[in-house]
Amino acid sequence: MRKRNESVALVPTMGALHAGHLALVDCARTLADRIIVTIFVNPKQFSAGEDFDAYPRDIAGDAEKLRAAGADLVWIPDADLIYPPGYATSVRVARLSETLCGPVRPGHFAGVATIITKLFALIRPDIAVFGEKDWQQLAIIRRLNTDLNLGVEIIGCPIMREADGLALSSRNAYLSADERVAAATLPKALALAAQAIRAGDDVAQALEQARTKLAQAGFGPIDYLELADEETLAPLSANAPRARLFAAAYLGRTRLIDNLEV
Give the integer Cα–Cα distance in Å for 151 and 5.
17
State whether CATH 3.40.50.620 applies to domain 8-157: yes
* Active site members: 21
SS3 (DSSP) at 187: helix
Q: Is the peptide bond before 125 cis (omega within 30 degrees of 0)?
A: no
Q: What is the residue extent of each domain of the chain?
A: 8-157, 170-261
pLDDT at 259 over 90: yes
Residue 214 Cα distances to 47, 81, 132, angstroms? 25, 42, 22
Residue 239 Cα distances to 27, 227, 232, angstroms? 31, 8, 15
SS3 (DSSP) at 197: helix
DSSP state letter for 152: P
The predicted-structure confidence for 121-178, as pLDDT tens digits, reads as follows 999 999 999 999 999 999 999 999 999 999 999 999 999 999 999 999 999 999 999 9
Torsion of CA 73, 78, 83, 84, to 10 degrees: -120
Residues in the chain: 262
Give the integer Cα–Cα distance in Å for 72 and 249.
36
H-run or E-run covering 177: helix 177-183
The predicted-structure confidence for 183-224, as pLDDT tens digits, reads as follows 999 999 999 999 999 999 999 999 999 999 999 999 999 999
The CATH number of 170-261, from 1.20.1250.20, 3.30.1300.10, 3.20.20.100, 3.40.50.150, is: 3.30.1300.10
The predicted-structure confidence for 46-73, as pLDDT tens digits, reads as follows 988 888 998 889 999 999 999 999 999 9
DSSP state letter for 161: B
The predicted-structure confidence for 106-122, as pLDDT tens digits, reads as follows 999 999 999 999 999 99
